[in-house]
Structure 1
């Protein structure tokens, strides 16, 4: 190796005295040196590998989870307003939330008639209840809905049907169940249309199975049962509003996302007038905007990802310190070798480039391994936890650029120390 280095830097003629060592020769010698010390090279790369893999994997997982939740929220519609009942008022005294329903089915009908920017309105009642079938039982969420609910929530039966206007008007005891309820009560049987289940002791005929929607956070959107709003109000809950049919919430779909703000303004004013609420009184209902939920979640996940990536970046700093330490030790171990090279005519710049090349090669190879490892980890996580596999090209480029920068910065001081060694002192060292 020393002979090769000598050939590379030894002047062939007086005109070649200023010739610098070709880059490929420097790279070849750096690679040969690192290969001859595999264990030391591997340990030096470890910090860079961990840092780059962490950045790639965490960024990918964060973007995958974000995309998954966005898809789930968007599947419910980004042009949807959800109105929830607040706390009732008695005179000027505001009672606790849930003391009495502040929303009614009549409110929903008024919104449908009076709000020009609104396309679909659906009222619903929501309660948890025990459901029984042939000795099997489960506690699930029961929704009493009107006919517009499937369109408002973008969820439809995949088997069977939804209830009819006549069944809604006559408080028919029919039910559409979610896939999770189906599996819990009926196992693998698909022949369940027409079967009778008991909800809080009341018998209901299964007329449909909802299409699977998956989970949204901790909530399983398939663990639900849908029955007519009138049936739930009379048989399972009982009317507890001062006038009309009490509901837990109202879904409002605007004509498009651009009209969502106008729809929210119109709905708010209609409900305030119907509930006799005037400034500075506080509303007895709450409005949530699906588009705002998506935006808020995206911002939160983005900030969380940045924070974790910043923490992972510490691994890169540690990796850089590791490269610097090992290169400094390498300079001490190779003092005599450096002296021999200088005695054979190697310039300070040739020695400097040699050690810088070694540091950069370590960081590039470590960065490459880190990128591959990060992609594999992200793919494994997306496969296990069932969210989209997303790899950001920017994160890969930034990761590789960081690994190159770490090697360059970490190699400067050791390379400079090696280049400044006095050849006589170096040759006398043990």
Structure 2
């Protein structure tokens, strides 16, 4: 009979208990493997979900911080048509003069840049692409931490004369000229207007589902006069303003000062609502972190159900094992095995099953997480606590699932057990 080795009248050593438990499990390899399956799936799921969630979170944080974590965005208000909101930024409530006032009158603001944005169609030599057209001023590269990798940025003369020059994002360059094509010096058509390409921006990737490389930049004055053609009563209408604080600690102060300044300039007094909306990068990072954290907890809880199912499977198999090995247990006890020795052996078998399942599940989870990170291009992150929790849960499941079967085996009367067939 499996595991019936080196039985003594005294309690066996830990090494002998482990050896007998391993022999018993190995003699029923298929059943042991199926028993471990629930634990494997549960542990692998927890580690995979945790790793992928943390990797995506870190990638998003890196992308946002690459654009500047100490910046905030001010968008113009909401236009309504027939009582229906057209969305934030649809009304012409912000002007370039507002941005200039913020730059000179807000002490906590280190940099300020205004922009005007519209969807557009760009064409070059039979190639065309739908993209986003941004009219920007000279402060944009410093505030948004993005600079040309080819050619040059606009000059003050370009801005003053509303010169028809453009800087392409890398995706637009690739769509119109190919990844190896030279764009600088060429002429493209945007919304029926000719523009000379003077630069190509460095790649920045996507943030929040928005491709930072799928853009064309032109002087704000040109955008306002030739593309949009609508000026506010008090100046040049814009879509929004980016404000850069000296550091993250100054961001809240800058937001407070900007809010008060714009309310005064727009003649807004309580209880009137603001005709603009302010959000900052830190709020975006925190909101995204919370969403990813909640999603990870939810999916991990679902994966935890697999662990519970795996524990139930271990308990069932161990109960069946006790019934099948009743005669073996009777012989052990008849030749001197104590109740604690029998209890320890069956508990050890349950723990070995769960630990083996935990080890395989951990390796599988790490492998899947690594493959996902390599495929979808986000950082590979494996936290020590998730691996430790996996092994801890495996041990706990084995102990809990093995208690009742082991106790039943230890309490068997040796005479009755010997009579069983």
TM tier relative to shorter chain? over 0.9
SS in 1 for 2:72: strand
Aligned to 2:38: 47
Instruction: Report the Cα distance in structure 2 between the residues aligned to 1:229 and 1:46, rounded to whole angstroms.
Output: 62
SS in 1 for 2:279: strand
Instruction: Report the Cα distance in structure 2 between the residues aligned to 1:192 and 1:99, rounded to whole angstroms.
Output: 33
Instruction: Report the Cα distance in structure 2 between the residues aligned to 1:44 and 1:204, rounded to whole angstroms.
Output: 68
Q: Tell me, yes or no, if the aligned pair for 1:8 and 1:25 is still in contact at 8 Å.
A: no
Structure 1 position 4, deviation (Å): 5.7
Q: How does 1:21-420 map to 2 (within 5 A)?
A: 21-87=12-78, 97=87, 100-420=91-411
Aligned to 1:16: none
Instruction: Report the Cα distance in structure 1 between the residues aligned to 2:102 and 2:342, rounded to whole angstroms.
Output: 80
Alignment CA distance shift 1:252-1:326 (3 Å): same
Instruction: Report the Cα distance in structure 2 between the residues aligned to 1:392 and 1:346, rounded to whole angstroms.
Output: 44
Are residues 1:9 and 2:8 paired? yes
Aligned to 1:424: 415
Alignment CA distance shift 1:100-1:295 (3 Å): closer
- What is the aligned-residue RMSD (CA, Å)? 1.8
Unmatched runs of 5 consecutive residues or more in structure 2: none
Instruction: Report the Cα distance in structure 2 between the residues aligned to 1:341 and 1:4, rounded to whole angstroms.
Output: 8
Instruction: Report the Cα distance in structure 1 between the residues aligned to 2:376 and 2:68, rounded to whole angstroms.
Output: 24
Alignment CA distance shift 1:30-1:329 (3 Å): same
Instruction: Report the Cα distance in structure 2 between the residues aligned to 1:254 and 1:216, rounded to whole angstroms.
Output: 20
Instruction: Report the Cα distance in structure 2 between the residues aligned to 1:126 and 1:324, rounded to whole angstroms.
Output: 63
Deviation per CA, 1:229-262: give whole Å up to 9, x if none.
0001011101231221110000000111111111
Structure 1 position 205, deviation (Å): 0.7
Structure 1 position 100, deviation (Å): 3.5
- What is the TM-score with the length of structure 1 in the denominator? 0.94
Deviation per CA, 1:251-295: give whole Å up to 9, x if none.
000111111111111111111111010111000000001111111
Aligned pair count?
419
Deviation per CA, 1:124-177: give whole Å up to 9, x if none.
000001110111111100000000011111111111111111001100111110
Unmatched runs of 5 consecutive residues or more in structure 1: 11-18
Q: Tell me, yes or no, if the aligned pair for 2:314 and 2:398 is still in contact at 8 Å.
A: yes
Instruction: Report the Cα distance in structure 2 between the residues aligned to 1:100 and 1:47, rounded to whole angstroms.
Output: 56
Structure 1 position 215, deviation (Å): 1.3
Q: Tell me, yes or no, if the aligned pair for 2:148 and 2:201 is still in contact at 8 Å.
A: yes
- What is the TM-score with the length of structure 2 in the denominator? 0.96
> Structure 1 residue runs of 4+, over 6 Å off?
none
Q: Tell me, yes or no, if the aligned pair for 2:7 and 2:335 is still in contact at 8 Å.
A: no
